[in-house]
Amino acid sequence: MIIDDQEYRVKGMQYTIRSAVEKDADTLCSLRVQLDGETENMDREAGEAFIDVAGFRELIRMDTAKRNHLFLVAVASGDIVGYCRCAGSELKRFSHQVEFGVCVARAFWGYGIGRELLESSLQWVEQQGIEKVTLKVLATNDKAIRLYEAGGFEIEGVLKRDRRHADGQYYDTVVMARFSDGMK
C-alpha cells in the first residue's frame, strides 16, 4: 500500500515519512547491513540474510501491491535513515493481522523517527481494518518495549533463550501485540 508523505520537525531536524519506492532499493540494501551492525537489538548480525538491490525492488513492489503490506521509509536531509514494514499473510486464518518491524540508524535515535514510523503504520492498520499487529523485541530493549506499550501493545509472551548473540549469551524475545478496539 501507499500512504501520503508526512513531514516532521523534531529538535531542529526535519524528516519525512513516506512509502518506499523502487528507486530506494539501492540505499535500503546498504542501510540494512549498516543498521544490523549498529545494535544488538536486531535479529541479524551485519550481512546476515542479505537482500540485494533486486530483492529490495521486489519487496517494495510486493508491499505496494498488497492490501495487507506496508513499507515505509524515513528520509532526513535527502537520505533514508530508517524504515519499517508491516507484512500480512495470504492465509485466510491469519488475514486479520500483520507483523511489524522497524529500524532507525543510530545517528538518528532520539528524534522520534521510530515512534512516528510506528504511528504511521498504526494509522494505516486502522484504515485497512486490520485487527491485530504483532512484533518481536529483544527482552533487554527496555526503551522499545516502553514505546510499544505506549502505543497500545501488550506482552503476549516471552520466548526463552530465543537468541544467542556474538557474546555467546542467550537472550529472551518478547512477543507483543496490539489489538483493534473490542478485540482481545
Distance CA 8, CA 12 (A): 10
Tell me the per-residue pLDDT of 72-97, one tens digit each, with 9 for 90 and over: 999 999 999 999 999 999 999 999 99
Distance CA 107, CA 110 (A): 9
Here the cell at position 94 is 491469519
Bridge partners, 69 (sequence order): 87
pLDDT of residue 48: 75
- 136 burial (CB, 10 Å; 0-12 / 13-18 / 19+) is middle
Q: Which of 19, 23, 78, 99 is nearest to 56 (CA)?
A: 23
Q: Is the pLDDT of residue 183 over 60?
A: no
Residue identified by cell 529483544 is 138
Distance CA 20, CA 165 (A): 30
Tell me the per-residue pLDDT of 95-151, one tens digit each, with 9 for 90 and over: 999 999 999 999 999 999 999 999 999 999 999 999 999 999 999 999 999 999 999
Q: What is the pTM of this model?
A: 0.92
Residue 137: phi, psi to the nearest 5? -145, 140
Here the cell at position 1 is 500500500
